[in-house]
Structure 1
Amino acid sequence: MYRQGKWDLRQLVKDHKSPEFARQIANLQEMVKRFEDQKDNLKPSIPSSEFLKILKSIELISENASIIGGYASLLYSADTQSDEATSLVTRVAKLGSEIENKMLFFDLWWKRKIDEKNAQRLINNAGTLGEYLRHKRRLAKYTLSEPEERIINTLDVTGPTALVKIYDKITNAFEYNITLNGKKKTMTREQLTVLVRDTNPKIREMAYKTLLTKYQQNKGVLGEIYQNLVLNWKDEGVEIRGYSSPISIRNIGNDVDNKTVESLLEVCKENAHVFYDFFSYKAKSLGMKKLRRYDLYAPNLKKIKERNYTYEKATKLVLESLAKFSPILSDYAKRVFAENHIDAEIRKGKRDGAFCSTVSPNITPYVLVNYTGKSRDVFTLAHELGHAVHSVAASKQSILVSEAPLPLAETASTFSELLLYDNISNQMSNDERRLILSEKIDDLYATVMRQAFFTLFEIDAHDQIAKGTTVDELSKKYSENLKSQFSNSVELSEDFAIEWSCIPHFFHTPFYCYAYSFGNLLSLSLYQRYKKEGISFEKPYIEILAAGGSQKPEILLDQYGINIRDKRFWQDGFDYIRSQVKELTLLN
């Protein structure tokens, strides 16, 4: 029996108001103090055995800090209105920052103060922690002296970090005044965004125009913020640290090669046409000659009675889908339920959306969903349990390398959704399949093509800003990006030229977006391989998940004959998307 309830966090902390929790924190602080005492032992000639003890100390501190931090975060997610939980999150974040500063000396020593020969000696004797050390060494050539790093950290608070806060404060304060059904209303962006999926095309258009007009009115200050953030990214990353290009800063942080990302983006650009038939299909289903950009996320207008799934039925379907591919992975997912590590009920104050949190490789992940019984919720459950399965598969890895690099992070989640679709599609009527398939392709467009073109725009924008440009010229470049993406398949209007300033990722985390394209296309390509190889693919797939972040993505996948530097690999993912679009059009 699977009950839609609240998770149990007592495995992490029994009671945060108890003396026992205070001792947990005190013990962690004592570990950090003992770690600081080892600073004088860090010499190039340090014996491997002694160095491994230092790494074990880092593991232990990371484990304990993650448990305390994870508990605070999960407690807050369960009730965001709780002053007690909010206060605990702030307190624990401060503790985490203090610990990070006290341990900074190890990173700087490893990156800058040890010669290559001794570094390689220690890496060779570090076992599975070799990649943890190698990745830090890759960053070494971009690391400055300790005084310089401290200066940058200090100035960052009043520099780029402050600019991002100003952007958030300005845009989060925006109020959108609209007239809906004859009544004047003031909405937040979140409320307005709901309307872009309205069944009425005039309401969709009004919602977009209202949103974009507000950003157009504030283009001067938002453009100034963006240009200064981009210049800071270049000045620090390229000019001072020595990265080869603005995007390479993100690539190296993601532990992937520039060539890999270039191949991914080239294939995305070459396959933009794959979605054109879908846009044409969608226009017809909406009774339009041609889809407008305002209608991109319009719902299916055909009256389809969507099936409701009880929580128990949904859970069994997801577990069954996993089991058909791999009983091992299904058993991994069952742990989440057996240990009551899932929060699925709807209640006031609980965080919106869904996520999976891995606090420690030694603890079964925690999953949060807001389950309402719709088919989309069943796929969300499959997605988050996919993340959990990935974490459990990698649980034998050290906490320092158990988490997959960002581009691989969506592998198991998307794969699990694909397994679910295959499992239930034959049980659905054509109308239900049409609805779910349409939503699925909508998501593929949003997570693959849209994100890739966001990144292509960023590359151009960073180049333009470095040479000197205006906000209007940036908007013109964005319009060209949209035209390249949609060609004549979607009717574009001039108001979307300012849309770039609405994308928080551009301001918060430059070049982050391609990770969505990477992760989803990787899963689609692996799924294509599974369809060709059948059950024999189970073993290599689980081994890929089990590696976590212990190997560089290119090196890990090369072992299984998967070359992610090669454009042909990414093309497999688009071949799958094309097959789904064709299936949808044939259902009509």
Structure 2
Amino acid sequence: MAMESLPEWTLNDAYIDIESDKFQCEIKKILEIIGMLKIATSQGSLQSSLENLFQIYEEGFDKVSSLLAFCRCQSSIDVNDQRVSGVHIRLQELLSSMEQLMKPAFNSLVLLSDDDIRWQSSSLRHWKCVAQQKKEHWSSSLSEQQQEALSLVANNNFYILNTHYAHINKLLNLDVVNNSGDVRKVNLSACLGILKGSPDETLRKSVFEGMNDFYSQHSALYADVLNQLAGFRLAQFELTGCDYITPTLQQNRISQAALNTMFSCLEQRVKEIRKSVSLRASYLGVKKLKVYDLSAPAPLQTVKHISYEETIAQLCYALGQLSPEIPDFIQMMLNNKWLEASIKNNKAGGAFYTRFNELKQPRVFTTYLGSSAHQIQQAHELGHAWHYWIMRELPSIETEFPMTLAEISSTFNEAVFRDYLLHQSKGRDVTGAVLWQEIKSVANFLLHIPVRYDFEMQFMSRRKERSLSESEINHLMDNAWYKWFGDSTEGTDRYLWASKMHFYKTDQYIYNYPYTVGYLISQGLLVEREKLGDKFFKHYRALLMDTGRLSVDDLVKKHLGYDICSPTFWNQCIDRAMSHVFAFEEHFKNCQR
């Protein structure tokens, strides 16, 4: 079979390369902006109006954030590009310098009364919600000297920990075998792709066991990095007398009561939710699902490679039912070469969306392998990109939506696409395959993500006292796994804490639970779509436009009319998710007749 032509993105219409004249010119401009801020804030007093200062800062922020995103893009295309990490750290330092220089300006902003006429200025009005957040921020009690010291330590010792993690991952290079007995070498990116979408059980098992052997041999290195990451954060929190949950709640703009209520609803219904795993085991004729089969594609029909062209056509048709605006956007992404889906040896694993604020350009990074799981991945990342695209003309600070709200558009795209496939399906096997995808999502968002959340919370609790050994970390992961999956799986994914890069991010903290928040809200939106019909899209678009301004609590209250500190909303969303599980159960019964 001829190799499929897959879209490759271009970076030439952005900054070309980190050594290009265009990229280096942008760094010089950032240095000039820092110089302007130094003069304007010299001698501890503001020598410029707040309006002017924030205009300067926004220009610098857009440039630095864009160059940081560009570094991520370049390193993802070639993980062996040794140049990027140093430039990335340098940009983090420049961003930190700007933020330090702006502290007096932010302090002045926080002191403005709500009726101050300056809030009516086009340069400041969008900073009002930021000022309120800074008033309440967990770090607000730190002195200027403490903040400067922590920033220095972070620049020199903290941000680089994510790079250390990436370097360890490069050591993973496994010999794996497929069901034909063929042996080949695979890196981490290929391993993750196989576990996510390969129909070959022998290959999935070989990859999973090989990865576990690797992590067992190198677990001390991963434990060192994880302990250092948590240790730095806990030291920060201790200086302010802050607990370790408040910073992530503020970062994700959700209340403690709302998060507790969501997890309480899930825990009360966990036995019901585990059906999303046990039903698949029963279909396969086993008592428990093997851990490496949790993301396996449906064994319900003849597995075929789904061409990228077919995937895009289906996505455009499905999402076009919401509005023609979305398929037009997808086509623009392809025409502009802003979408990467090619298969290359040196590419990073996983998938992501990012954007260049200065240029108003989104980018989507994936590796497309032709499975239904990879179709869903395209829907997910394009949901993120479209969310930014409709907000791109807003000031960048109003497009900095938190993870909890960022995951709404992506998971809603997934849900709409699966719903389309289900209604378009012809024949028992196709229907079962689509429902298989649905209940995989239920297990991932309502069991797997809670495992990660519980693990991280328990790890932080114990890390307050001392560093943990790799065996102690394994024990925490086992406990979290059994709490949520019970005996529905054969064993646990013990080294999930080492393989999941989310635990090693330096820009996000307790990264995982926002996926569950976003997924459940997207299920609630499906209910709204059924209620509103043709009026839904306008309603949905307005909700997304508010994601940079409102908290999760306020957004759901304003646009959906629910108090998310009450179980009613979350249970309605869980009901919608579980409807797929019940549909699969009924389908399974019919297959046995």
CA-based RMSD? 3.9
Residue 210 of structure 1: CA displacement? 5.3
Partner of 1:367, secondary structure, is strand
Please name the residue that 1:6 is paired with: 8
Please name the residue that 1:59 is paired with: 58
Given that 2:338 and 2:364 are in contact with CA atoms closer than 8 Å, whether structure 1 keeps it comes out as: yes
Please name the residue that 2:581 is paired with: 581
Given that 1:394 and 1:548 are in contact with CA atoms closer than 8 Å, whether structure 2 keeps it comes out as: no
Please name the residue that 1:417 is paired with: 414
Residue 559 of structure 1: CA displacement? 1.5
Comparing 519-528 with 506-515, greater Cα deviation is found at: 506-515
| Distance change (3 Å), C-alpha of 1:338 and 1:488 | closer
Please name the residue that 1:528 is paired with: 527
| Distance change (3 Å), C-alpha of 1:262 and 1:188 | same
Please name the residue that 2:95 is paired with: 100
CA deviation profile, 1:290-342 (whole Å, cap 9, x unmatched): 3344543444444524363451x432322222221123344444432344433
CA deviation profile, 1:175-232 (whole Å, cap 9, x unmatched): 7688888899887555666676776777766655554465556666765665565454
Please name the residue that 1:396 is paired with: 393
Letter in 1 for 2:527: Q
Please name the residue that 1:258 is paired with: 256
Partner of 1:358, secondary structure, is strand
Partner of 2:274, secondary structure, is helix
Letter in 2 for 1:434: G
Given that 1:131 and 1:552 are in contact with CA atoms closer than 8 Å, whether structure 2 keeps it comes out as: no
| Distance change (3 Å), C-alpha of 1:29 and 1:256 | same
Residue 43 of structure 1: CA displacement? 5.3
Please name the residue that 1:481 is paired with: 480
CA deviation profile, 1:6-25 (whole Å, cap 9, x unmatched): 33444434788776665444
Please name the residue that 2:233 is paired with: 233
Given that 2:446 and 2:516 are in contact with CA atoms closer than 8 Å, whether structure 1 keeps it comes out as: yes
Work out whether 1:363 is the aligned partner of 2:397: no
In 2: Cα distance, 1:187 partner to 1:14 partner: 29
Partner residue of 1:33 out of 35, 43, 52: 35
In 1: Cα distance, 2:304 partner to 2:144 partner: 59
Residue 525 of structure 1: CA displacement? 1.8
In 2: Cα distance, 1:241 partner to 1:59 partner: 28
Work out whether 1:306 is the aligned partner of 2:304: yes
In 1: Cα distance, 2:90 partner to 2:230 partner: 31
Given that 1:51 and 1:122 are in contact with CA atoms closer than 8 Å, whether structure 2 keeps it comes out as: no
Residue 266 of structure 1: CA displacement? 1.7
Residue 164 of structure 1: CA displacement? 6.3
| Distance change (3 Å), C-alpha of 1:123 and 1:105 | farther
Comparing 185-194 with 133-142, greater Cα deviation is found at: 185-194
Please name the residue that 2:514 is paired with: 515
CA deviation profile, 1:545-575 (whole Å, cap 9, x unmatched): 1224123332233221143333322223221
Given that 1:142 and 1:242 are in contact with CA atoms closer than 8 Å, whether structure 2 keeps it comes out as: no
Partner of 1:64, secondary structure, is helix
Given that 1:265 and 1:456 are in contact with CA atoms closer than 8 Å, whether structure 2 keeps it comes out as: no
Please name the residue that 1:246 is paired with: 244
Partner of 2:397, secondary structure, is coil
CA deviation profile, 1:8-49 (whole Å, cap 9, x unmatched): 4444347887766654444443333223221149858x99xx
Partner of 1:396, secondary structure, is coil
Percentage of identical aligned residues: 20
Aligned residues between the structures: 574
In 2: Cα distance, 1:174 partner to 1:285 partner: 33
CA deviation profile, 1:316-374 (whole Å, cap 9, x unmatched): 32222222112334444443234443334445645554332221276242233434444
| Distance change (3 Å), C-alpha of 1:253 and 1:282 | same
In 2: Cα distance, 1:476 partner to 1:439 partner: 30
CA deviation profile, 1:67-98 (whole Å, cap 9, x unmatched): 444445445545556x6xx64x4575355235
**1:150-549 alignment, distance < 5 Å:** 150-156=148-154, 173=171, 208=208, 211-212=211-212, 215=215, 226=226, 229-237=229-237, 239-243=238-242, 245-293=243-291, 295-306=293-304, 308-311=306-309, 313-347=310-344, 349-360=346-357, 363-429=360-426, 430-466=428-464, 471=469, 475-492=474-491, 500=497, 503-508=500-505, 510-549=509-548
| Distance change (3 Å), C-alpha of 1:103 and 1:293 | closer
Comparing 295-304 with 276-285, greater Cα deviation is found at: 295-304
Comparing 177-186 with 280-289, greater Cα deviation is found at: 177-186
In 2: Cα distance, 1:7 partner to 1:191 partner: 20
Residue 578 of structure 1: CA displacement? 0.9
Please name the residue that 1:563 is paired with: 563
Partner residue of 1:139 out of 129, 132, 137: 137
Letter in 2 for 1:454: R
Given that 1:361 and 1:396 are in contact with CA atoms closer than 8 Å, whether structure 2 keeps it comes out as: no
In 2: Cα distance, 1:208 partner to 1:352 partner: 15
| Distance change (3 Å), C-alpha of 1:336 and 1:174 | closer
Residue 262 of structure 1: CA displacement? 1.6
TM-score under structure 1 normalisation?
0.83
Residue 274 of structure 1: CA displacement? 3.4
Given that 1:274 and 1:577 are in contact with CA atoms closer than 8 Å, whether structure 2 keeps it comes out as: no
| Distance change (3 Å), C-alpha of 1:442 and 1:119 | same
Letter in 2 for 1:540: H
| Distance change (3 Å), C-alpha of 1:103 and 1:220 | closer
Partner of 2:356, secondary structure, is coil
Residue 543 of structure 1: CA displacement? 0.9
Residue 256 of structure 1: CA displacement? 2.3
Letter in 2 for 1:154: L
In 1: Cα distance, 2:294 partner to 2:136 partner: 41
Given that 1:178 and 1:210 are in contact with CA atoms closer than 8 Å, whether structure 2 keeps it comes out as: yes
| Distance change (3 Å), C-alpha of 1:298 and 1:148 | same
- For structure 2, the 5+ residue unaligned runs are 589-593
CA deviation profile, 1:457-515 (whole Å, cap 9, x unmatched): 3223333444679756655454333332123433447xx66654555444546521112
- For structure 1, the 5+ residue unaligned runs are none
| Distance change (3 Å), C-alpha of 1:302 and 1:319 | closer
Given that 1:196 and 1:297 are in contact with CA atoms closer than 8 Å, whether structure 2 keeps it comes out as: yes
